[in-house]
Structure 1
Amino acid sequence: MSQDPQKHLDEQDDDSLLPFDEHVEEVQEGDKKVRHRGVYLLPNLFTTAALFSGFYAIISAMHGRFEVAAVAILVAMVFDGLDGRVARLTNTSSAFGEQYDSLADMVSFGVAPALVVFNWGLADFGKVGWAAAFAFTACAALRLARFNTQIGTVDKSQFVGLASPSAAALIASMVWVGHDVDVEWGIATAATLITILAALLMVSNVRYTSFKGIDFRGRVPFVAMLVVVLVFVVITIDPARVLLAMAACYAFSGPACWLWKRKSVLFKRRSAEASGTPVEAGDADASDNPEPRS
């Protein structure tokens, strides 16, 4: 007689030789759920590398090596961008991988940037400094929690709020630029304000382009490759300042677009009031609320 595969998995769990729980995940295949044992190695290797980079950034900041700490956070961004793409390309996506990636992001882009910037320029502000650092960490956690609950309900081409890796890049590049300068009151004040602003942008409803619609496997015009080469050349001239400029432009692009849309809505409303045309109430709020995909 053939043995039930599900019962066979349960018996293996009971007879395991190691005192560790074997991960078993239920996956929807067709009309039924199938249990799979173990985890995918390749995408989780990239996630682990991102987690290690964030942890290494914390250790480096504790020893005063702020340049290394900032670079480690940026390296974590690279690995974080690769794990999801590798999982999709190799068809190795899983619920375990999604949760592991979210927890790794919390360390690499929530805790690590906050501790790095605190040790670099906020420690002299006492309670105000660690409060700003904690605000960044807490907002990163809220941002990740909100993102996880909105998967499948919002347009993938846009982020609602500044993504935590982008906020971490802003903080890390700022520390990288100023790692070899004496942090005085003015620089510390600016760093505190930027940290708080990045934290607020993460939990805001401001929309940002996610760049997930870019097809890296498709053909592009030859001039596109020239632009990519030019970008790399510009970055190599002064990586810290160029990356800071890029991170700042992206971070402030959201509020700029939001203000532009608000200005357009107010202009339309005043024009409609002047002409006596009724204004629909939904026009003013259409750009603020996430719209579920049909």
Structure 2
Amino acid sequence: MIAPNRRPRLRALPINKMIPNMVTLLALAAGLTSIRYGLRGEFERAVVAIILAGILDGMDGRIARMLRGTTKFGAELDSLSDFLSFGVAPAMLLYLWTMNDAGGAGWALVLLFATCSALRLARFNTMLGDPEPPAWSRNYFVGVPAPAAAFLGLLPMMLSFQLGDSFFGEPAVVAVFMVGVGLLMVSRMPTYSFKRVHVPRKAALPIMIVVGLLAAFLVTNPWTTLSVIGLVYLATIPLAWRSYHRLKAKSRLAEAEEAAEAADGPAPAAADGEEPADGDLDRPPPSRS
């Protein structure tokens, strides 16, 4: 008697592959929670929730690599979480805060910001299968990443917490930020990734002191500190563009020099009794030791 076909049992999933996905789900929950705070008018808590989502988003990939738990499922889940937390959530907060006063134009800008975020994430996913980029370009992103874009888009709101919304709460001002950040997301503008920055030993102690001061300012005056961080990041974008193209030019020059050296390699010596080739008539005979 033939035994009936049985469905294969699901194999046990190692815990090291589950932990990064758990962190990603926490980031997704933080993004959703920010929308809830926005609906209740608690915009400061909403911004904190998005910042928390950004911190968790920066942790999940590193945890996955550290635990060797990188999976295709985790990469897809991370993209979906990023779209909601850094594309939909900040756009909704800005609409609930001030862009609803602009009517249909305000909603159109919300759609533009979210669409640019989706396009940026889709482009990033398609680039995962590309050949390994040159070593000199690995410290740069193509366009502004989604977490940084959410932070920059919310910059007028954070400035208004400290300086008032008489200026930064104007729909026209917020619209400029939304359009500019949206275009930066889908642009080819190189931006620093800060993933492969090596700190010299002499600079380690001063940097630790700066980090300690930054933590103190975050506790005592958080919104001004976060706003300054956002403005400093904006200032690094033209610097990144300049350094990227300088390194690119040096790389092309080095490749051209290598190609020229390969093309002008030494010609083979003629055997005894043979006439040199026509191309070697104007070259001196090879020296003999």
TM-score category (smaller protein)? 0.7 to 0.9
For structure 1, which runs of at least 5 residues remain unmatched after alignment?
1-7, 14-21, 25-35, 265-281, 287-294
| Further displaced range: 166-175 or 135-144 | 166-175
Matching residue within 200, 217, 223 for 2:206: 223
Would you say the 8 A contact 1:173–1:241 is kept in 2?
no
CA distance in 1, matches of 2:57, 2:107: 27
1:244 deviates by: 1.8
Would you say the 8 A contact 2:83–2:117 is kept in 1?
yes
CA distance in 2, matches of 1:95, 1:185: 41
CA distance in 2, matches of 1:165, 1:100: 15
1:253 deviates by: 2.5
1:82-231 pair list within 5 angstroms? 82-151=59-128, 152-153=130-131, 154=133, 155-179=137-161, 181-182=164-165, 187-214=170-197, 221-231=204-214
Identity %: 33
CA distance in 2, matches of 1:145, 1:202: 11
TM superposition score normalised by structure 2: 0.72
CA distance in 1, matches of 2:221, 2:168: 26
TM superposition score normalised by structure 1: 0.71
Q: Which residue of 2 aligns with 1:42?
A: 19
Ranges of 4+ aligned residues in structure 1 off by more than 4 Å: 36-39, 179-186, 259-262
Q: Which has the higher strand share?
A: 1
For structure 2, which runs of at least 5 residues remain unmatched after alignment?
253-289
Would you say the 8 A contact 1:53–1:108 is kept in 2?
yes
Would you say the 8 A contact 1:159–1:209 is kept in 2?
yes
1:38 deviates by: 7.2
CA RMSD of aligned residues (A): 3.3
1:150 deviates by: 1.4
Q: 1:149 to 1:173 in 2, by over 3 A?
A: same
Amino acid at match of 2:7: E
Amino acid at match of 1:85: R
Bigger Rg, structure 1 or 2: 2
Q: 1:131 to 1:78 in 2, by over 3 A?
A: same
Count matched residues. 239
Post-superposition Cα deviations, 1:105-162, rounded to whole Å, max 9, x if no partner, equal: 0000000000001111111001111111111100000010111111254443110000
Amino acid at match of 1:236: V
